[in-house]
Amino acid sequence: MVKKSIDATSFHHIAGRDLLIESIPIGKTLFRVHRAIHAPLWFGPDMSAPVSGRFNAPNYEYGVCYLGTSFAAAFAETLLRNPTNRLLSMVDLVERSISAGHCTRGIRLARLHGAGLKRLSISAGTVHGSHPPCRRLALALHQHPQQIDGIAYRSYFDNDEICVALFDRAAGAITIGTTEGLMDDRRRLGNILDKYDVRLAP
- Tens digits of per-residue pLDDT, 144-189? 999 999 999 999 999 999 999 999 999 999 999 999 999 999 999 9
Q: Report the b/e string of 135-164 with b at 16+ CB within 10 A.
A: bbbbbbbbebeeebbbbbbbbbbbeebbbb
Helices 71-79 & 186-196 angle (0-180, nearest 10):
70
- Give tens-digit pLDDT for 6-56: 444 589 999 999 999 999 999 999 999 999 998 999 999 989 899 999 999
Q: Report pLDDT for 9.
A: 54
**Cross-strand pairs, 68:** 31, 163
**Cross-strand pairs, 199:** 87
Average pLDDT value for the chain: 94
Neighbour count for residue 73 (Cβ, 10 Å): 24
2: pLDDT strictly greater than 80? no
Q: Where are the beta strands (DSSP E) in 54-170?
A: 64-68, 87-88, 96-103, 107-111, 150-154, 162-167
Q: Report pLDDT for 8.
A: 44
139: pLDDT strictly greater than 90? yes
Domain ranges (residues) in the chain: 12-194
